[in-house]
Every structure is written in structure tokens, then in C-alpha cells.
Amino acid sequence: MSTEAVVAEPVQAGNGWEPNILAFCCNWCSYAGADLAGVSRFQYPSTVKILRVMCSSRVEPAFILKALKDGADGVLIAGCHIGDCHYIDGNKNAEVRINNTKKALAKIGLDKRLRLEWVSASEGLRFSEVIRDFTEEIKKLGQNPVKKPLINADERRLSTSVCPSAANVQGSEVK
């Protein structure tokens, strides 16, 4: 699963920095709650990029670490309320997994950048409140200190003038 297309450069609002938050939302409840927030025109910051997953328990710790490494200032996992999971115990498993991930992130000071919330399909207003609250919390923390610097596409290409053999990836001769 790639988060590269979702995690973008931080938004600039006027002269200030705005956080870049990636939200993994459960298909059955939280994503529908986000949809209801939009349909109901509940206002929340544009700092969040929503990624739909079938269940909150499908979010691997590696996805969270990659999102933080690739530029997310915060990661939100939103799932069904306990007892309402369409996959029976998925949200309970997610809670254990996210709590363990938070413990690991605490060792490097990033635990406050990860949040787990329960939002049902009928809680559009709650979804917008969670996003506003988490955005304010991340603003207080500031930019993610471990994100790798963005590299533009031109810098990624190997320069054949520096390393002529680099163009010979497919086995063809460099002319």
C-alpha cells in the first residue's frame, strides 16, 4: 500500500504553516461519517487527506511509520465504535495494534502524532470535530521532525553525465 500519492506538501495558509494529516477511515462507519460531514456541510480544515480502508484493523504499523516518514505531520485512524465492527472484532484488534504502535512511537517522541477515534456513519459532526481538534493538536506540536525532505522528479533521475553506466539499466549500450 502506497501513501506517496496521498501525503503531499504542507498547505500554506496565508503566512503560516498548516499540518498535513493522513486519515485512515473504515469503509463502513468512519468514511461514511466523513461523507456525511461533507454532505451536511460541516466545516473542518482541509489539512486532512482521507484514505479509505475496509477496516481500521487493516492499518499496519508500517503504513503509519511510512506516512510519518514521507511527510505526514499526523496520522488518524478512524473506525467503527467498539461492538459495531462489520468484521466483529476488527476495531478491538485495531485498538491493540494502535496502542502498541503509540508505545513504540513514544520512544522517539512521535506518539502524539498518532490518534485513534471511533466515528459512526451517523456522526458527521463528530468527524468534523475530531479533524478540527487533531489539527489544532498537531499545530501545537509543529512540523513533523522526521519527515524526509521532498525531492523533485528532476533530482531523482540519474544523471548520465555523472555516471554514464547508470543509463545502461536494461543492458543496452550507452551511445
pLDDT tens readout for residues 1-13: 554 545 555 544 4
pLDDT tens readout for residues 59-94: 999 999 999 999 999 999 999 999 999 999 999 999
pLDDT, residue 7, reads 52
Query: What's the angle, vertex CA 107, arms to CA 106 and CA 111, rounded to 5?
Result: 15
> What is the architecture, at CATH level 2, of domain 12-167?
3-Layer(aba) Sandwich (3.40)
pLDDT tens readout for residues 108-144: 999 999 999 999 999 999 999 999 999 999 999 999 9
- List the single range of 24-28, 42-46, 77-81, 169-173 with lowest mean pLDDT: 169-173
Domain ranges for the chain: 12-167
pLDDT tens readout for residues 165-174: 444 444 445 4
DSSP label at 164?
A: G
Contact 117, 82 (CB under 8 A): no
> Which alpha helices (H) appear in 89-172, and where do they start and end?
90-106, 124-141, 153-156
SS3 content of the chain, % helix, strand, coil (to 5): 40, 15, 45
Q: What is the pTM of this model?
A: 0.78
Residue 152: band (very low, low, confident or very high) from pLDDT cuts 50, 70, 90: low
